[in-house]
Amino acid sequence: MGSWLGLGCAEVMGDKLQIDLDQFLEFLSPRITNTQFNAKVNNGKIEIPAEYQDEIHNAEIVQIVILKPLSKKKSFPQTGIIAQLTANPIMK
């Protein structure tokens, strides 16, 4: 319990030990850091920039997010309600 006192999440009040629950739970929770960077993909292999290679090598968990560019032109099917309304708009 002495280490909790050193971290500031507990203090002795007379004959009682008072613990700040939020700080105590934060003390118990695992420490996770987050580093984000962009990397190119070449023939299905992710090219890790040189400045991040040591960090990746020593990591326990890596999260990968795949970014896909949005198509520039939205196309609608040739049949269906949108096609019918485009060909024959309702005008009142």
SS (H, E, C) 23-38: HHHHHHCCCCCCCCCC
2 pLDDT higher than 50: no
Distance CA 92, CA 77 (A): 26
- The pLDDT of residue 87 is 83
Q: Is the pTM of this model over 0.75?
A: no
* 76-87: pLDDT as tens digits: 677 888 888 888
Distance CA 9, CA 2 (A): 10
* 21-68: pLDDT as tens digits: 777 777 766 667 788 899 999 999 999 999 999 988 888 888 888 888
List % helix, strand, coil for the chain (3-state, nearest 5).
Answer: 30, 15, 55
Q: What are phi and psi of 81, to 5 degrees?
A: -65, -40
Domain extents for the chain? 2-57
